[in-house]
Structure 1
Amino acid sequence: MSIKLLDHKVMRSFIIFNSDLIDFFSNIKKVEDLPLSHEIIQPSDGDDGVYFIHYAFKYEPSEDEQSEDLKELAVVDMFFRFEVLGENARQTLEECVPAICYPYMRSFLSTLFANSGVEPIYLPLWFYKQ
């Protein structure tokens, strides 16, 4: 089995910075606490082993935490393009996506906060589990 990351792009990022969002990030202790999701997409015309991964971070407070004046929102959509050769490509991607994609999301969010002039955030590292 061979997995090769061909490229990645941030397709959308929308973040409203406020103290509640900073508090949310400061309380994150492990990767599993982050609202991350992914979807594996294989083009219908593609038998060449190319797959796309939609990797998303989406944080919206629950309705009872929102006030009428202040609503926070953080959404980041990233797309990754992989070449996967061998059998069980989809299953292999399912197992490897977090370990490959999360560091890019972590770096993007950290850089975005630092460049925006708000308090820097430090997200946990991903430790691959076998």
Structure 2
Amino acid sequence: MPTPGGPALERGAAHRGTPGTAGPQGDGGAQAGPVPGALPPRGPRDPRWTLWIELWARTASNQPLKAAQEEIDDSWQRDLEALLTKGVDQGRFAPMDVPARASELLALLDGLSTRVVLGQRGADRARALEQARSAAALLVPRT
């Protein structure tokens, strides 16, 4: 089990996915799941994240897009919950409200990634990973 915000942020457990991509174990399944290397974005205008931001912007007025976006977010939420639950079960993380903490991490990662893809001053991939690890270490209590 990785430490909070550790290599899982780069490898598998906390990466934006799209339907039909590999799941957390790289099984190539048909459900939404992590895309290795997708989080944080590679840099400004990362095409995967640019598309994701455009999807977000269109969901308010387009029910099929909203459903697709919710399916992807729900999948990522489940992946984060599974990672946290595993850590709690193995005694590496203290007991916590797993769904709430996964939702907080999801919001954090979305925000950091959006800043990178928009090319905001001081926001780059390395800094986003550093900030995500730092925040995750505070949000996920260790035993």
Q: Which bin holds the TM-score, normalised by the shorter protein?
A: 0.3 to 0.5
Which structure has the highest strand share of the two? Answer: 1
Asked which structure has the greater RCO (Cα within 8 Å, sep 6+), the reply is: 1
Work out which of the two has the higher radius of gyration on C-alpha atoms and give 1 or 2: 1
TM-score, length basis structure 2? 0.31
Structure with a larger share of its residues in helix: 2
Superposition TM-score, scaled by structure 1 size: 0.33
